[in-house]
A and B are shown apart, each in its own frame.
Chain A
């Protein structure tokens, strides 16, 4: 059982200055599963997601207490908040896709090759394979294969988002953190990304923040409901959406919140 958990979060508190944004989170995330974070705006979903690869370190005034243990990622096992953790290795293995696409102002090809290059892949033919493979996995190969030199900034928002997913996949992470990755996408690209999640599960572990309840039920194995910095319900997606135990969770998912 414990072996199944790739990430274990214990008693995690996070403060932005004096504001406590996470109030004692305890949860385990299972390997090769999709876990959804749901809950109203401002309840701490993105904040917790950013803790998992220490993105919050970049925010001034942000203080984290508690532990996040990694289990079964070579070279990373242990508490990621320990002093001598290699942050670059952490972010290579635990990739992130943000809500707003943040492509680099360079060509599509260079966007995808960026990560592998910084991790030492130099051979053009190797990079070609990685770029093609990553773009295909993210469902944007057909649209871009003839224009790989084109600037990524000139693409549409939905296309840029899929470039970001391809870029995250290019370094072959073990865990993919996605913060509302499809909120700007049309139904077809959304379906592509959702299908991608299903396929990626075999090799990766995915944590996704979504405001789309149907998306959570379609793609995730487990669902966590957040409210005001706490997780009030966490279980299999089937259980949470069929027979939620927490009344606030039930009110939220059935649209009776507030």
Chain B
């Protein structure tokens, strides 16, 4: 592979990643909306789309590993390929976590539970924003936006702490909706994880640009 071809290959990997980012972005949006509106159909869609992202993820991993092997890249090329491999797995996790949430949404639906955790909606909207920002920061190598995502993750962590307290109260007080508290806790945990993965993407974006996370 000649160097000019190598650059074309790097551009291709970048293109695929941004494309995957676009899909992950819509996955998390649909996931949060299916949760907020108790939309069973939408949650099923998210679960199905998950299988498409799997193929995209594998293709990107394969291309990146091959470029690593064939070109033994250094400097910005090495940082980009390392970042690509990390970011693709973070995106993959975000999409898996969104699917897990949708599975819980289906379970809740089956059990006829009412969605009554406003804080989860807030966390969901926050997660949408974080995913969008981290993907945009990666696509444009925008360090300021990456820094913003890191701060957003602190907020997400606080939301989750607050959610835990609320749910513990429900269980303690044996409130009428105490049974669903466990499910909401799990959803909250997945949203918090989505925040962590978004932050990781932001950190790798900083590394790609400057060598520092």
Contacts and interface: CB of A to CB of B under 8 A. Distances in A.
Contacts of A254: 3, 73-77
A256 interface: yes
Interface in A185-224: 213-214, 217
B74 A242 contact: yes
Nearest to A241: B74
Given A243-B211, A255-B3, A214 B72 contact: yes
A78 interface: no
A210 B99 CA distance: 51
A103 B156 CA distance: 70
Contacts of A241: 74-75, 78
A250 interface: yes
B72 A253 contact: no
Interface in A152-189: none
A213 B71 CA distance: 11
B210 interface: yes
A244 interface: yes
Chain A at the B interface: SS class: helix
B73 A243 contact: no
A214 B71 CA distance: 10
Interface residues of B, number: 13
B23 to A, nearest CB: 30
Interface string A217-258: 100000000000000000000000111100000100111100
Nearest to B7: A256
A244 B210 CA distance: 10
B148 interface: no
Contact of A243 (B3, B6, B72, B75): B75
Interface in B161-213: 210-211
Given A242-B79, A243-B210, A243-B211, A217 B3 contact: no
Contact of A217 (B6, B74, B76): B74
A209 B72 CA distance: 20
A250 B73 CA distance: 11
Interface in B1-58: 3, 6-7
Contacts of B76: 250, 254
Given A242-B75, A242-B78, A256 B3 contact: yes
A117 B78 CA distance: 49
A193 to B, nearest CB: 19
A255 B78 CA distance: 12
Contacts of A214: 72
Contacts of A242: 74-75, 78-79, 211
Contacts of B78: 241-242
B3 A250 contact: no
A54 B72 CA distance: 36
Interface in B65-124: 72-79
B176 to A, nearest CB: 58
A256 B10 CA distance: 14
B74 to A, nearest CB: 4
Contact of A213 (B74, B210, B211): B74
A99 to B, nearest CB: 23
A250 B78 CA distance: 11
A9 B74 CA distance: 28
Contact of A244 (B7, B72, B73, B75): B75
B59 to A, nearest CB: 24
B17 to A, nearest CB: 20
A253 B73 CA distance: 9
Contacts of A217: 74
Nearest to A242: B211
Contacts of B72: 213-214
Nearest to B211: A243
A213 B78 CA distance: 13
Contacts of A213: 72, 74
Which one of B72, B76, B77 has the highest number of Cβ atoms from chain A below 10 Å of its Cβ? B76
12 contacts: A213-B72, A213-B74, A241-B75, A242-B79, A243-B210, A244-B75, A253-B75, A254-B3, A254-B74, A254-B77, A255-B3, A256-B7
Given A253-B75, A254-B77, 7 more contacts: A241-B78, A242-B75, A243-B210, A244-B75, A250-B75, A250-B76, A254-B76
